Amino acid sequence: MLKSVMVEVEHLRKQYGDLTAVHDVSFTARDGEIFGLLGPNGAGKTTTIGCISTLLTPTSGSIRVMGCDVIKDSIQARRSMGVVPQEIALYDDLSAEENLSYWGGAQGLRGAPLKERIREVLNLTGLFDRAREPVKQFSGGMKRRLNFACGIVHRPKVLLLDEPTVGVDPQSRVRLLDLVREQARAGACVLYTTHYMEEAETLCDRLAIVDQGRICAQGTLQELRAMLGERDVLRLSGTFHPEQVREALTRIEGVEVIHADEAQLALAMPDASHRLPLIFAALNGSDLRGTTLTQPSLESLFIKLTGSELRE
Amino acid sequence: MGFVWISALKDLRRLRREPVTILAWLAIPTFVAVILTLVFGPRGSGPHGTLLIVDEDRALGATMLTNAFHQGALANMLTVEQVTQAEGRRRLDRADASALIVIPAGFSMSFVTRQPVTVDLIRNPAQRVLPDIIEESLAIMLDRAASFQSASGTPAIRLEANIIADKSEQPGGFAAILLPGALFMSVFFIAGALAADMWRERTSGALRRIASTPVHFGAFVAGKLLASAVIFAVVGAFGLMAAQVLMHLQIASYPAAILWISVSGCGLYLLMMLVQSAASSERVASMLTNLVTLPLVMLGGGFIPFEWMPRGFARLGQWTPNGWCVMQLRALLAGSPHVWTFAAAIAAVAIAWLVSVRTVRRAAC
């Protein structure tokens, strides 16, 4: 069955004075799909989510959620959205049940359907037994789960998740990611921002790699890997003369210098382990301190596209 | 309207979980009432003041007049000091006394010979109650003397009162003068504390989250306003009750007074919310709140009633938001409620709400 487009972002641009936080961003996300925005902090992911969730007004471009223009018909667009912000946007002095009741009320749920849904969501997130305790007594992971629960209490068709696993212990992270998958399986379109490569690799059906407000590449994981080719990435640290090193290394067959500066080198090549002696020979005279070999991954692609590692 | 209730209930529930805060808020007006009772007595026996007398006559009539202020209730209220005219004027200029009486040379002889004579009274414009008492007492004394003097002729003693302060006297004693200001002082502090909650919601991301829901942001602010209105009504009722029990405060209409405290408290709450949303951080917001609250509370009759303030300050204070609320509460307690007062306050709250909705939403996003 053909999936329908739920979120459509076209040439989105958001400017704060002279700073362009988001520059000509376009993508679409469909129902049942987890679409990831992967990039470092300050890449423009949260600003993009802010524009989609109607919190921020785009400088230019258009955003449609379930066919509704988020600027012209913001209320209608918000009805179909659930937002799980980066912050734990809960009332610490209220119980889990009261928080869910409040956020469900804000989404227009009332009475018996709200109560029923609260019970469901508490069960889903494993918080049923702690439903009446004040949130301030919860662990960080439990708060994150409740934060997520408040975003899905009204069964949104479009779920916006802005780095929902920041500061979460591994167990809670696994549980949260399962919950996200469950929403997608149920037919929701999930927009997920993260700066964790592994999370994006294991969770997202399609991805956009974002850096400095621009989308560098987008597609499925396979499509993105294909962009890099089946090559390993060798990263070297030490003291280098970038121009000399670049000249020496490009003479070796199959080696591509994807980044070179005084302290770091990043090389892409097939079967790197067999080429190491040649590479070390070419770098003779450089003060080499560390070597890391990485198999093809999003990280390799990120380095290739942006010329730098994904920094937190 | 549905979400307004939900939002209000949320804030009231949160507040219920902080009983110490509620107790502190209720304690402020009670504490003020207790302090006022301890200082002025349960029936408001009044403050003590100084009466300066310039005796240029130095004869029996002047002595009798001076002694009259040493007797009965006046003796408890006044310390009488004899001064020279120049010193008396100087001290009055420094607001160092409540009034100055000048008994002219030849006063006693004029009394005996039934010649016209003028006694000057100069009031301290910064005070109202004690100068009023002195003026009225002096008028009675001179009236009696004049009637005795004029038993067979025309009355000849005339009181020349130099009245500078306006004479609108506050009925209901000292409680009615002191309590409204003190009550609004606590309302102002509570308004500041309630408005600070906006920062907690902003920091936690709850404001951003509510702005991304289909509910109108105005309903969210209205809910907070409704919760605040309930709190102000409870604190107001508690304060008025404490004042009635401890200080025998006369209250013409309980419901009108409580409604007024609640409505005007909402106005002050929105004012503080606007102040807080102008700040760049929670710490700056707290500083701004103090910067606004303390001078307004001082000028608005929170610490010192308008009657005890210099005239210029009193006038200014009565036009501060809280000072105006204090004046209207006094009128309500005295039994002269004005519909236009409520209408003006509700209109002001509505305008402040509209501005707050825009400002707070902008600050949240």
B209–A89 C-beta distance less than 8 A: yes
For residue B208, the chain A residues in CB contact (below 8 A) are 55, 85, 87, 89
Provide the pLDDT confidence category of residue A228 given band limits of 50, 70 and 90. low
Of the residues B213, B220, B362, the best mutation for testing chain A's interface (the one with the most A CB atoms within 10 Å of its CB) is B213
Q: Which of A209, A229, A233 is nearest to A219 (CA)?
A: A209
Round to whole Å and give the CA distance between B43 and B40. Answer: 8
Average confidence score pLDDT of chain A: 89
B208–A85 C-beta distance less than 8 A: yes
Min Cα separation B15/chain A (Å)? 9
Lowest average pLDDT, out of A91-95, B56-60, B228-232, goes to B56-60
Q: Closest residue of B to A87, CA-based?
A: B205
Round to whole Å and give the CA distance between B205 and B333. Answer: 43
What DSSP designation does A95 have?
B
Burial status of residue A60 (CB atoms within 10 A of its CB: 0-12, 13-18, 19 or more): exposed
In single-letter form, the type of residue at position B245 comes to V
Both tokens of residue B192? 């500041």
B204–A87 C-beta distance less than 8 A: yes
Round to whole Å and give the CA distance between B232 and B238. Answer: 10
A103–B213 C-beta distance less than 8 A: yes
Enumerate chain B positions whose Cβ falls within 8 A of a Cβ in A: 2-3, 6-7, 10, 13-14, 17-18, 203-206, 208-215, 220, 365
Provide the pLDDT confidence category of residue A277 given band limits of 50, 70 and 90. confident
Lowest average pLDDT, out of A211-220, A297-306, B34-43, goes to B34-43
For residue A155, the chain B residues in CB contact (below 8 A) are none
3-class DSSP assignment, residue A21: strand
ipTM of the complex: 0.78
Phi and psi, residue A254, nearest 5°: 85, -5
Is pLDDT at A311 greater than 60 in this prediction?
Answer: no
Provide the pLDDT confidence category of residue A118 given band limits of 50, 70 and 90. very high
3-class DSSP assignment, residue B63: helix
Comparison of pLDDT for A297 and B140, the residue scoring more: B140
Round to whole Å and give the CA distance between B136 and B139. Answer: 5
Q: How many CB pairs under 8 A join A and B?
A: 73
**pLDDT tens-digit map of B37-83:** 676 655 554 556 789 999 998 888 888 888 888 877 777 778 889 99
Cut 0.90: pTM above it: no
Is pLDDT at B210 greater than 80 in this prediction?
Answer: yes
Rg (CA), chain B: 26
Q: CB-CB: which of B2, B206, B211 is closest to A110?
A: B2
